[in-house]
């Protein structure tokens, strides 16, 4: 019986190897419960480009949000897993093989952990560097962003590749008020320096 790790890894590796766009700066592993049922997790793989991020920056969002918030991404569907009958059955077989606690979050957490291992292997096997000439992050996410999203992506990626995404989350998602206060303080300090220099 095929395991979901091997199937997803092999399929995603082939998909990534087929991409020829030098403008790609991040890969999306979008996790979603089919029909809002936590027992039917799915994966959609896509990517975003700097052209897209730049086009959405300022007009619709801040530079950081346009670059890292999936709401502003291309939301392309380069690979789907768990939607068709065959891969949905693989998911159900995988769930049946696990001894999970009886709560809704357990399946999602286990599925995300598989994706963390897949992301790490894609990096460690050189798939990302060989395709893009450098490490770029694989963002494992949902529609909302919260602390667990930051932690799982820190595990899934080399520190250098994921640092900008984590900084955006820290500044604008997890501590937005602190970020605004720091920005205002920085502007005030800059203004005071200019006034001092003009005297």
Question: pTM (2 decimals)?
Answer: 0.87
Residue 58 is predicted with a pLDDT of 76
Residue 21 is predicted with a pLDDT of 96
26, 3, 125, 75: CA torsion to nearest 10 = -10
Residue 102 is predicted with a pLDDT of 67
Residue 68 is predicted with a pLDDT of 97
- What are the tens digits of pLDDT across the range 123-148? 999 999 999 999 999 999 999 999 99
State yes or no: pLDDT of 2 exceeds 90. Answer: no
Please name the residue ranges forming H helices in the chain.
4-18, 50-56, 63-68, 85-97, 104-124, 127-132, 147-156, 159-168, 176-198
Residue 104: CA atoms inside 13 Å, Cβ hemisphere, count? 4
Q: How far apart are CA 139 and CA 93, in angstroms?
A: 26
State yes or no: pLDDT of 3 exceeds 50. Answer: yes
State yes or no: pLDDT of 6 exceeds 80. Answer: yes
Residue 177 is predicted with a pLDDT of 62
Instruction: Name the percent of the chain lying above pLDDT 90.
Output: 77
Q: Give the pLDDT band (50/70/90) at residue 165.
A: very high
- What are the tens digits of pLDDT across the range 66-79? 999 999 999 999 99
- What are the tens digits of pLDDT across the range 83-124? 999 999 999 999 999 988 767 789 999 999 999 999 999 999
Residue 94 is predicted with a pLDDT of 95
Residue 135 is predicted with a pLDDT of 98
Mean pLDDT of 17-45: 96
């Amino acid at each position: 019986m095929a395991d979901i790790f091997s199937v997803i890894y092999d399929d995603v590796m082939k998909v990534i190897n087929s991409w020829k766009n030098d403008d790609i700066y991040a890969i999306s592993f979008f996790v979603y419960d089919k029909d809002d049922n936590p027992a039917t997790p799915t994966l959609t793989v896509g990517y975003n480009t700097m052209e897209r991020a730049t086009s959405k920056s300022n007009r619709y969002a801040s530079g950081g949000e346009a670059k890292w918030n999936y709401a502003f991404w291309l939301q392309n569907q380069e690979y789907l897993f768990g939607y068709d009958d065959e891969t949905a059955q693989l998911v159900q077989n995988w769930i049946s093989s696990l001894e999970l606690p009886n709560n809704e979050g357990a399946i999602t957490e286990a599925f995300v952990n598989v994706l963390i291992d897949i992301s790490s292997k894609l990096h460690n096997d050189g798939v990302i560097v060989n395709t893009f000439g450098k490490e770029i992050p694989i963002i494992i996410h949902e529609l909302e962003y919260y602390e667990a999203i930051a932690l799982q992506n820190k595990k899934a990626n080399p520190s250098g590749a994921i640092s900008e995404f984590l900084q955006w989350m820290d500044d604008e998602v997890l501590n937005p008020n602190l970020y605004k206060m720091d920005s205002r303080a920085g502007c005030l300090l800059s203004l005071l320096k200019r006034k001092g220099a003009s005297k």
